[in-house]
Structure formats: structure tokens, C-alpha cells
A = this chain, B = another copy of it.
Amino acid sequence: MSIPPRSETTQPDTHPSRLRSLESSTEITVELGLRSYPISIQSGATSRTDKMGFASRLAEAIGDCTHVILIQDASVAASAGQAIIESLPHHGVRVSILEVASGEASKSTDRLTDLWGELLACGTDRRSVVIAVGGGVIGDLAGFAAATFTRGLRFVQVPTTLLAMVDSSVGGKTGINLPGGKNMIGAFWQPHLVWIDTDFLSTLPTREYVSGLAEVIKYGVIEDAEFFEFLESNIAAIIRRDPEPTRLAIARSCQSKARVVADDELETSGRRAILNYGHTFAHAIEATAGYGAMLHGEAVAIGMQMAASLSVDLGYCDAGLLTRQTALLEAAELPRSWPEADPAKMIPIMARDKKVAHGKLRFVLPESIGSVKLVGDVPEENVVAAIQAWI
């Protein structure tokens, strides 16, 4: 099994001391000048008997450190959390362990305030390092706590969901929700290291895993045609979570995200917008379904179908693209349609998003597999038709 590397950001791990313990490991650098950092992706390295993979990579990325605060999702405390704790050096590093309840409700001002207090109580100072172990909820919350405690602590992401591995742990967006607005509060705060081990996926429920695949497929459509082909050939093995194809799919997804983020760290140039392929529809689907009823990736899969239909309808791409995308989403066991989709409810929500997009209703529309464009001022009737195509 192999996938042609897009080598400008892949650095195959050739350091001999690491090669011994991490036979198949990929390292990607997110190129952000002084804030550049590595994403290290492997299978089974964290829980090896020697348990040295993580500790040595951490030491390299962080330098000296005498206090680590591990902030973990309650549901991974016994698995990934424990493996990380055991792999930390036993001497000279004080380890504080803070636990956060599973679920989106933890990304709240209340939980944040408690976390700030817990950081103070465990003696955190400017030289302490925060390690977040969990899905996107933990990464976003712990990352924001790290960004703001004493105006910024060093921070390591150990994502344990597929979505967090391929999306939320890379790119430096951290934050919490307000009662009336998701991700309304936050900061750009880049980690010093992202440590991904496919082993951590073994306990993840199927529905969560499959949902994460929507973002993986998204990268293929928006900017990596070769990767899309790789997914078409290997989707069955990835569904089975075979370590090597899964690891490659994650690495290639991280490369995509790293490229986009390097071009537009603070979401100012507009490049980062391509990551929102399918998301304008998806946000409206999630909101009308009631948050939580549908997983984010499920809504994204349906949203990509609507966006692709819109693109075909407007003449930006041919129908073959839609056929391939539909087939891949189906093979990934993702939903492609939503019987309850209601344009009359969804369009006002999409229009409200307007404000954020500087007064224009914009869509990210595919031109071909691997290439998208931003289109503004799409007539409402076409948007209605695109939604109705996937009811």
C-alpha cells in the first residue's frame, strides 16, 4: 500500500533513534514561521512497551519542562489518557491530571472558568505545558485555556477522534460556545506538537468514526485529486480501520489542512474558506435538525452533496464529479440525503451566516475533483433546488 507523497510538506521520519520505535510514522510540518509545528502520525507507538515514542517527541518539540497538565476527556481516561500518562517521563516532570466530561456541553464558559481555577490550583505557571487528550471538544476547550492562562501556555494536541485528528487539532483555532452561538469565543493558538496514534481510534464508536470520514473525503474534493483516488481504492480498508491505510488517510488529510492553514493562519486571506466546502448547507442542516441530532460529519456529507449539485446546476462542474463523490460517500457509509431537509427553514439560517461573510452569501463549489472556487450571490432558487435534490 502506498500513496504518492506531496513531498513539500512530508518529512519521512529518518532520525535513527526514532526509526527504531516508530517504524511507520509520518511527520508533517505546519509551516507558520516561528509558530511552525510538527504533526506526528503513527500506529501503535504510544502504547509500545518502551513507551518512548511520545516522550521523546515531546521533549524535542517542547524543550525542558517540569510541569505538565494533562486535560483529558472522561471517556478516554482509561485508554489514550492512560497511555499518554504512562509514556511521560517518570522523573523531573510533575504531572497534573484534569478531567472534562464528554460532550459539546463542556465547551462552555462555566467549564472554562472551572478549568482556569483548576489550572491555578495545581500550580500552573508560564513554563507549564498543557496536553489535551480527547476529541475536538477537549482540544478546543483545553487549547483556549492554554491560550489564555498567564497569556499563553505551550500546548500539545493528542486527538482521539478521527474528526479531531484530521481537522480540529490542526490549525490553531481554539474556543468555546456561548448559549446563543457556537465557537463564539476563542483565540488562534497554535500547538507545539500534534501527536496522532491510530490506536486511539480503536475505542471510537462507529458512527463517530464514519462521521470523521466526511472531512477526510472533503480534502480530496477541495484540493487533492490524487488523495480522492486513493480513498476510492482504499475506502473498505479504511472503514475497517486497518492501521496503514487509515494512518495514510489521516496523514494526507493533515497535509491538506496544514497547506491551507499555512496560507491563511488567521483566516484573513480567504484561503481558509475552502475548508468550508459543504459547511454552509451542513450548518443549516445541523441547526434545523437540532444540534446533536445529526453528527457534524453526517451533515457535512449531505452538505457536500448539495454543494456539488449546486455547482453542476450552475455549470461550474460536470455531473461526473457528483457521481464520484456520491459513490465514495456511499462506500464510506455516510448519508447522502436528508428526507427532512426543508429549504424554507434552512435558507434563513444560511442567510444569517451572511454577516460573517461580509454581507455576501458565498458557497465553496467544486470545479473538478481537487479544485473548488468561491462563488458569491447565488440565486436563491438554485439553492432551493440543490437542497431538494437531496431530500
Q: Which residues of A contact B (CB under 8 A)?
A: 109, 113, 116-117, 120-121, 125-127, 147-152, 173, 175, 178-181, 184-188, 266-267, 355-356, 358
Contact = CB atoms under 8 A, between A and B. Distances in A.
The oligomer's copy count stands at 2
Contacts of A126: 356
The majority secondary structure among interface residues of chain A is mixed
B178 A116 contact: yes
A130 to B, nearest CB: 14
Contact of A109 (B113, B125, B181, B356): B113
Contacts of A150: 184-186
Nearest to A358: B127
28 contacts: A109-B109, A109-B113, A109-B116, A113-B113, A116-B178, A116-B184, A116-B185, A117-B178, A117-B179, A117-B180, A120-B180, A120-B181, A120-B184, A125-B356, A147-B187, A148-B175, A148-B187, A149-B184, A149-B185, A150-B184, A150-B185, A150-B186, A151-B175, A151-B186, A151-B187, A151-B188, A152-B187, A152-B188
A181 B175 CA distance: 22
A161 B357 CA distance: 38
Contacts of A125: 355-356
A221 B65 CA distance: 36
B152 A120 contact: no
A126 to B, nearest CB: 6
B116 A148 contact: no
Contacts of A185: 116, 148-150
A121 B181 CA distance: 10
A385 B109 CA distance: 47
B358 A178 contact: no
Contacts of A180: 117, 120-121
A120 B187 contact: no
Task: Please list the 7 inter-chain residue pairs (A to B) with the smallest Cβ-Cβ separation, ordered nearest first.
Answer: A109-B113, A151-B186, A125-B355, A148-B185, A120-B180, A120-B178, A120-B181
